[in-house]
Amino acid sequence: MTISQAMTDSRASIRAMKQQDIAEVHDIEKLCQTAPWSQSHFENEVNEIGVSEPLVAVIRARVAGFIVVWYVAREIQINNIGVHPKCRRQGIGRILLSEALRFGREKGCDAAHLEVRQSNTSALHLYKAAGFQQVYLREGYYSDNLENAIVMKKPSLAL
């Protein structure tokens, strides 16, 4: 079964990322990013970094998307999110983000941060719809093309 077939008849469920998800997660990452994280970067997030709680969205045993989040000093830091191109615009990114925020709220966090490329319209829409606001611009931040980073904050996690 291909990932697009998996999407047709079932909604995603969200769970913790496991070691056995990493190959699929990395395949999605390579389809999402111009400067993708390595497989070992994801392995560190799953196995070694105590503050990291990465999640995957799974549809009929296939990984359709992921989010990598750190929970540090009552703040949530969204470090990466990706949805398989064939599974986009079906609410998976929104579910992953809202689950990460809900998890942070349960852990006692009271704010969330992230940074996003200025040209990344889809991600900017996703984050603004979730209540994130631009706080400042990091000029020339991305080393591959010197693109600006927009730093965003969700000042309250209250429902």
Give the residues lining the site for ligand COA (CB under 6 A). Answer: 32, 81-83, 88-94, 116, 120-123, 125-126, 129
* Closer residue to ligand COA, CB minimum distance, 50 or 116: 116
Residue positions annotated with a catalytic role: 115, 127
Cβ contacts of 41 within 8 Å, gap of 6 or more: none
Alpha-carbon gap, residue 2 to 7, rounded angstroms: 9
Dihedral sign, Cα of residue 114, residue 117, residue 122, residue 125: positive
- Closest approach, Cβ 136 to ligand COA, in A, equals 16
Q: Output 92 or 157, the one with its CB closest to ligand COA.
A: 92
Residues with Cβ within 8 Å of residue 64, at least 6 apart in sequence: 3, 6, 7, 12, 28, 57, 58, 83, 84, 87, 92
CB of 11 to ligand COA, least distance (A): 12
Name the minimum Å distance from CB 6 to ligand COA.
14
Nearer to ligand COA among residue 86 and residue 105 (C-beta): 86
